[in-house]
Structure 1
Amino acid sequence: MADTGKRARVGWRGYIPAIVTPFDAELALDTRALGGYLEWLHAEGMHGLVLAGTTGEWTSLSPQERKALFDAAGAQMRGKLPLIAGCTWFTPNEVVEFARHAHAAGFDGILVTPPPYIRPREDEILGFYKAVSDASPLPICVYNWPPGTGIDMSVALLERLADLDGVVAIKQSTSNLARFVETFFALSEKVRVFGFSMDEHGLALLQARGGDGTMGAGAVLGRDHPDFYNLLWAGDVEGARACGRNDRRVLTDWYTPELVGRFGSGPAILKAAFAARGMPLGGVRPPLLDVSAEARERIGATLAALGKA
């Protein structure tokens, strides 16, 4: 797939996880744990990182904490791999303020959903993103996340958003294969499209038409996630298939088909998984709850079956 036009403005491709935000025992932002986590992610070969996304519990971060998170990650990782800042908020002015701070911290782009809770109409969503596009110093990845926002943006709306100058990518987080394929064919020549499933469906589409990648959650399996793409790009389809099977095992065991956690929130499940891997990153902030002891056992059993615990 040719990287021309707006696609060529960014080099985002492969596996780019939305990472968790580490907290200490008092549930304060833990920049020391963040540093070790970032080094591990880099060593495991991630193709980029999303901070303060859904998995990063942006909803419980104060504006000052979100900016501090960007500062810490940027100081450590800028220039090493693409950094994308989760800048979702309710009004475009605040989104742009976060984007400006992320730009100063060395980030390469921003990830933004429509304003959650208020359920704006399509023309209001278009106006929201246009205001962000007009003022953001960083390129934008539009994030369609129906379980979290209550809005499933139509492909027709996504096409209009892709025409905005600042929009260079779409993260289509849907479990509906037909909707993802429709989005990919409608937009992939114009902007980068993320959301490929790391299974036979995703492999078939990537082999036949190419594609950009997956913005997944947490990267708890480490190198298996980026190696799905690394091996595919190198022509080792069977190796990519094996990595994809591990990813699908985690998704099947821990999440519903709608990509919602089976026994807790996504951040709580992933933090329990990292703890089982010997990398404690703290608990989740209220109103989220840490997973139960039974859930921790189930999480550990999946990781053990995959040789990760």
Structure 2
Amino acid sequence: MQMKGILPALVTPFDASGAVDHDTLADILEFQLKAGVSGFVPLGSTGEYYALTHDERRAILKTVREVVGDRGELIGGANGSCTREVIEQVRLVRDAGYRNVLIAPPYYALPSQEELIGHYEAILDAVPDVDIVLYNYPVRTNVEVGFGVLDVFKDNPRVIGIKESSGNLLRAIEIGEKYKGSYQLSCGSDDQALDFFLWGATSWICGPANCFASHVVDFYTKFSAGDIRGAQDVMRKLFPVMATMEAGKFVQKVKYGCELAGFKVGNARLPLKPLTDAEKAEFRTVYEASQA
């Protein structure tokens, strides 16, 4: 798989009863496809995978695959707190017809780098018919996908890329330079997207694309055409809202952004609580400024 362009990290819409709203999910997919995204990543952090049942995950994967068809690349999130659980999730994604999975270090267990290498080796051995995109998000897992891990898998054709969400731009630069040709680098730090692409990223796995699809696609189109100033202008307009999202309550703000964009996606599931009226007003200010 070639990881190129904008790959929205999909929200999971919920209806008034709290059930997954597949009709709204389909509408969001069509909205983003019309804007020109290259593919989708369901069951990630933005999609609240941790708050979903196995049956809900299967149903979401099915809806996304049926709606998208051959119109975009698909990468399914497959995460858990131990190797056994992650292997179960990888098989669930594979059985839904996905070839590519996005896998972060297991949270809570806090594996060493040697143990993390063993974790990924066990997944590769247990499910030989999927390719892996590594996911470095230490703020969520408290474990980094270190350079020792990247060294081990750099020649493995089934470990195809890394979504870098550490917020450490120097690390992203080093990955882009040191592992060029070994890993496809995907931006996972939304407020650093321009810098990522300047240093070799080929894609942006982007939660804000749920509500800013046309903007982020416009950014990528301009950058790909060599219009760096134009891409910078788009990011300059988006930066305040991206920075606000990255500052905290990311999922709730993406969902509220979807509401402002015309999609009723419901609230995040507990333990996450809805934004307060003051937080909504603050977010709406930067959201509306980005639309001007």
- What TM-score does the superposition give when structure 2 sets the normalisation length? 0.91
Q: Which amino acid aligns with 1:281?
A: V
Secondary structure of the equivalent of 1:221?
Answer: helix
Partner residue of 2:10 out of 14, 19, 42:
19
The worse-fitting range, judged by mean Cα deviation, of 116-125 and 238-247 is 238-247
1:24 touches 1:281 (CA, 8 Å); kept in 2? yes
1:49 touches 1:81 (CA, 8 Å); kept in 2? yes
1:170 maps to 2:162: yes
- Same amino acid, percent of matched pairs: 29
1:133 touches 1:164 (CA, 8 Å); kept in 2? no
- What TM-score does the superposition give when structure 1 sets the normalisation length? 0.87
Distance 1:162 1:246, change over 3 A: farther
Q: What's 1:153 paired with?
A: 145
CA RMSD of aligned residues (A): 2.1
Distance 1:78 1:248, change over 3 A: same
2:6 touches 2:217 (CA, 8 Å); kept in 1? yes
1:305 maps to 2:289: yes
Q: Which amino acid aligns with 1:56?
A: G
- For 2:73 and 2:34, the matched residues in 1 are separated by 14
2:138 touches 2:144 (CA, 8 Å); kept in 1? yes
Secondary structure of the equivalent of 1:223?
Answer: helix
Q: Which amino acid aligns with 1:97?
A: E
Q: What's 2:49 paired with?
A: 58
Q: Which amino acid aligns with 1:112?
A: I
Q: Which amino acid aligns with 1:215?
A: I
1:241 maps to 2:225: no
Q: What's 1:144 paired with?
A: 136
- For 1:67 and 1:138, the matched residues in 2 are separated by 17
Distance 1:164 1:124, change over 3 A: farther
Distance 1:37 1:203, change over 3 A: closer
Unpaired runs of 5+ residues, structure 2, are none
Partner residue of 1:125 out of 108, 112, 116:
116
Partner residue of 1:215 out of 205, 209, 214:
205
Distance 1:204 1:93, change over 3 A: closer
- For 2:154 and 2:102, the matched residues in 1 are separated by 14
The worse-fitting range, judged by mean Cα deviation, of 217-226 and 49-58 is 217-226
Q: What's 2:79 paired with?
A: 88
Unpaired runs of 5+ residues, structure 1, are 1-9
Instruction: Count residues in correspondence.
Output: 290
Q: Which amino acid aligns with 1:161?
A: F
Distance 1:24 1:176, change over 3 A: same
1:289 maps to 2:276: no
- For 2:19 and 2:141, the matched residues in 1 are separated by 26
